[in-house]
Amino acid sequence: MLLRPLMPEDAALYPDFLAEVTAEDLRLRFFAPMREVSHELIDKLIHYDPQHAMAFIAIEEASGKMLGVVRLHDDPDGERGEFAILVRSRLKGRGLGWLLMKHMIANAKDKGLKTVHGQVLAENSSMLLMCSELGFHTVEDPDERGVKVVTLPLNEVPALPD
């Protein structure tokens, strides 16, 4: 598996990837029922501003298939970043999400951010558990019912297994 920054050419990999992401996983990622991800949204996900955001894609080297993606967008204060993650549904539970999250956290630290945070639906217990194992603190989202906010102060990142 290859882990590298997401590039505009990767738009071509999205249809095959999303074909193997269940509607439920799309809802957990985008917080809304979605039959399919529009070209406009893919375009937006691909064309991020590298000054204020980063995204990493996991690719199966043999087939060139996209396996998962994690992104981090800096808040305007330049001290915090908001992440989001999606893994090909049939590959869930094999450590890919963990790897992507660790990579994103390491890059956020290198970049000098103070915290990373994300919104997670309250029923997304596997993501909440993974975040807690990664050292994130979890609170209710004060603005959105049924949503939790997970935050990791980057000066508190525990030593994590690979």
Within 25-44, which residues bind ligand COA (CB under 6 A)?
Answer: 25, 28-29
Residue 112 vs 158, nearer CB to ligand COA: 158
Pick the closer one to ligand COA by CB: 112 or 138. 138
SS3 category, 152: strand
CA distance 138 to 118: 10
- For ligand COA, what does the binding mask look like between residues 116 and 155, x meaning CB under 6 A? --x-x---x-xx-xx--x----------------------
Backbone angles phi, psi at 51, to 5 degrees: -70, -30
Residues 97 and 102: their CA atoms lie apart, in Å, by: 9
Of residues 55-84, which lie at the interface with ligand COA (CB under 6 A)? 84
Residues 6+ positions from 155 with CB-CB distance below 8 Å: 114
146: which 2 tokens?
A: 């049924």
Q: Residue 42: which H helix or E strand, with range?
A: helix 39-46
Judged by CB, which is closer to ligand COA: 87, or 108? 87
* Interface residues toward ligand COA, by CB under 6 A: 25, 28-29, 84-87, 92-98, 118, 120, 124, 126-127, 129-130, 133, 161-162
